[in-house]
Amino acid sequence: MPATGMTRTEIRASASLASIFALRMLGLFLILPVFAVHAQGMPGGESATMVGLALGIYGLTQSIGQIPFGVASDRYGRKRVIVIGLLLFTLGSFVAAAAPDIVWVIVGRALQGAGAISAAVTAFIADATREQHRTKAMAMVGVSIGLTFALSLVAAPPLYALIGMSGIFSLTGILALLAIWVVWKVTPAAPVLPRERVRLREVVRDPELLRLNFGVFALHMTQMAMFVVVPTLLVQHSGLPLPSHWKIYLPVVLLSFVFMLPPIFIGEKRGKMKQVFVAAVGLLLLVQAAMWLTVTRGWTHWLVLTLLLLAFFVAFNILEACQPSLVSRIAPAASKGAALGVYNTLMSLGLFCGGAVGGYLTQNGGPAHVFVLGTVLALAWLVLALGMRNLPLRGAETATASA
């Protein structure tokens, strides 16, 4: 096996698993720009609480399912668990498509979230790639998620006009079925897993993994809380109507991928991933502090917000690519699924808490308080990240992933 360059099997595994993520996330993202408006015409949809529950219940059931699915993938195989999760997601999609009222939409969304395959997919990528290429493989997942998010912002309104909300939910189910086909027909066979097991509490208590688990919680809590505020800032202070927001989000997300890749490749090549990681957390801190200053001083011109959003997504995408790769290297080889299950649980809880706390702070204290929260979380994370150990250059040793 060559020392440099991904093999065809590694590329095939990474690309196919990233496409599974993309197909599933496209099904989720497509409803976000249009569901709140659509729900107002459904029985029970006049309640903002019920609409919020319909959107947020997915993250809650995700957080409950991540650890069991991750542990199960360690014991029974990655592919089998991924397919079961996708079947649950498919069932939830069709339940939501047929929903006569908001309550049944909530049931469908809960079933969608119960198919918590993120840990199994990322563990599969870790199994199928060598350490020196793992972050690049994880970056494929990050890029696929970012592209589907950007595509959803553009495609959701015309799709809703064409096929309605029921059609969009049905489309999400069809995409999940397509993802199942990709798992069985395109994704290479999963590598044989070690038989020895590590107790879950040992994974949970590992100091290095605790740093990363706090980090993913802080990152996604900050992201969700931030986007409780940003759309309103663009509408009220920058004069940009809601249907035009994709004109900012799309180029910002795409351009952020251009800026995030060089630091990752350089860090991978030179064994400087800790420095890249800490710098990205530092950039996240600067963005949150700058957002606070922007809001308090009234500097909410669309160009200022666009530049800050670009910096945020650069930091976000770097961290999204680095963290699961680092978890897979630090976790015991036999318990990658369990470790990534804990990691993805904290991610889902971060999304849930970010939305809830961000909404509360915005209603009771104003937008500036949201960015104070983001600044505090990023600062705490930076302090923790400075103490993390710098893993050896990928490929320079063989014991790190199982140590």
pLDDT at 2 over 50: no
User: Are 229 and 372 contacting, i.e. CB atoms less than 8 angstroms apart?
Assistant: no
Where does residue 356 rank: exposed (0-12), middle (13-18), buried (19+ CB within 10 A)? middle
Cα–Cα distance between 341 and 78 in angstroms, integer? Answer: 13
CB 66 within 8 A of CB 348: yes
For residue 25, give Cα distances in angstroms to 5, 31, 117, 332: 28, 11, 11, 28
Instruction: Based on DSSP, count helices (H) and strands (E) in the chain, helices before strands.
Output: 14, 0
pLDDT at 392: 55
Give pLDDT tens digits for 55-65.
Answer: 778 878 888 88
Q: Is the pLDDT of residue 393 over 60?
A: no
CB count in 10 Å sphere of residue 119 = 34
Both structure tokens of 52: 């919020």
Is the pLDDT confidence value at 191 over 80?
A: no
Q: For the chain, what are the domain ranges?
A: 7-189, 201-390
Question: Mean of the pLDDT values across residues 47-53?
Answer: 72
Q: Report which of residues 108 and 248 the model is more confident about.
A: 108
Q: Does domain 201-390 sit in CATH 1.20.1250.20?
A: yes
Using CA atoms, how far apart are residues 194 and 319, in angstroms rounded to an integer?
29
Residue with tokens 């029985």: 43
Q: What is the mean pLDDT of residues 215-234?
A: 84
Residue 384 above 90 pLDDT? Answer: yes
Per DSSP, the residues of 269-305 read HHT-HHHHHHHHHHHHHHHHHHHHHHHHHT---HHHH
Return the SS3 of 77.
coil
Note the pTM of the prediction, 2 decimals: 0.76
Two structure tokens written together for 107: 């049931």
Q: Give the separation between CA 384 and CA 32, rounded to whole angstroms.
A: 33
Q: Is the pLDDT of residue 395 over 60?
A: no
The CATH class of the 7-189 domain is: mainly alpha
Find the mean pLDDT for residues 372-378.
95
Range 90-112 average pLDDT:
92
Query: Residue 199: what pLDDT?
Result: 67
With beta carbons less than 8 A apart as the criterion, state whether 69 and 79 touch: no
The helix/strand/coil state of 3 is coil
Residue 302 in tokens: 């669309």
Q: Does 7-189 match 201-390 in CATH topology?
A: yes
pLDDT, mean over the chain: 82
